[in-house]
Copies of this chain bind each other. A is one copy, B any other.
Amino acid sequence: MGIVVNLEGGKRDAASIKELVDLTAADMGRVNELILSKAGSDVQMIPEVANHLISSGGKRLRPMLTLAAAQMFGYEGEGHVRLATAVEFMHTATLLHDDVVDESGMRRGKKTARMIWGNQASVLVGDFLLGQAFRMMVEVGSLEALDILSTAASIIAEGEVMQLAAAKNLDTTEDEHFAVIKAKTAALFSAAAEVGPVVAGAARTDRTALRSYGMNLGLAFQLIDDALDYGGSSSDLGKNVGDDFREGKVTLPVILAYRRGTEQERAFWKKAIEENDADDAALEKGIGLLARHAAISDTIGRARHFGEIARDALAPLPATPQKSALVDVIDFCISRVN
């Protein structure tokens, strides 16, 4: 694993986002400047809270998608930098609100903003960043990009409510779960990728290609994240193995193991997830059950399925360094699990 056949350049280590990082480095420099300036406020608490999360070492994958997708269609203006920053702010606002909703204590190996400044500040600074994101989109002036990103904002929130309503419900079907992660995670990947060709004035088929790429990449990304939570190395992730288990989150590995399990195993999952009886011994037992039912490997299999759709979405587009970099991102997302 980690070595895949790259259709456009022979064999090489594609499980990296190095090409994407290199191609977008100059633009990302401007994104990072804009992040600092637009998270600024005379109200001191705003940059404090915002920068705590913004500087906490996220990969900034989503804004890089926007930048590469705009470059891919020859865009030479400045709008993609603002749109990429808006995408990152939407993501940051979602994380701030998520941590409040999930009552999370840690994110990326650091205390969450809510543990330091409280739930109130997290909610309000999230609102502020969302407002700033929309202002940046308005500055770009593309009603189509505004439409795509504001629709994504609604869908993300809808997905989060869906997840809340289904919380701790082990009867969630795989399809219902896909609907949740499509809304809460993949919609922003999709919008981030689609606004690239939109701001570049590319053809409709180019837009739908990038939209489909982003959506399926986002699904794969989330599924791998969920698999990693039961088996990744904690230093890579900045979160501990078993966080989802301890928080009683119903992710795909659990859905598969629960549906495939015996009566007795289902009783175990109910106790662990629904009644929060989720200590280290329970986690160890849970990981054993996931292995017995191939729940992790099949979750990765589902992720590969979406990864392939993402790859095929880009297939008809001409070979460019950006296309190659975006294909690498799929492999990178999936190879994180190895």
Interface of A toward B, CB cutoff 8 Å? 41, 43-46, 97, 100-101, 119-121, 123-125, 127-128, 130-132, 134-135, 137-138, 141, 143, 146-147, 150-158, 160-162, 164-165
Contacts and interface: CB of A to CB of B under 8 A. Distances in A.
A150 B134 contact: yes
Contacts of A152: 131
What is the oligomeric copy number? 2
A157 B143 contact: no
A313 B146 CA distance: 33
A134 B138 CA distance: 11
Given A120-B101, A138-B147, A138-B150, A125 B44 contact: no
A124 B135 CA distance: 21
Nearest to A160: B124
Contacts of A151: 131, 135
A124 B101 contact: yes
Given A100-B119, A135-B151, A153-B134, A46 B158 contact: yes
A157 B97 contact: no
Which label, helix, strand, loop or mixed, suits the secondary structure of the A interface? helix
Contacts of A121: 161, 164
Nearest to A96: B123
A86 to B, nearest CB: 10
B128 A161 contact: yes
Given A120-B164, A121-B164, A161-B45, A138 B130 contact: no
A154 B132 contact: yes
Given A135-B147, A141-B143, A154-B131, A125 B161 contact: yes
A121 B100 CA distance: 11
Contact of A128 (B46, B119, B154): B154
Given A45-B161, A161-B125, A143 B138 contact: yes
B135 A43 contact: no
Nearest to A183: B43
A92 B156 CA distance: 18
Contact of A153 (B100, B101, B131): B131
A153 B141 contact: no
Contacts of A138: 143, 146-147, 150
A164 B43 CA distance: 10
B130 A130 contact: yes
A114 B184 CA distance: 22
Nearest to A140: B143
A44 B160 contact: no
A125 B141 CA distance: 27
A20 to B, nearest CB: 28
B153 A127 contact: yes
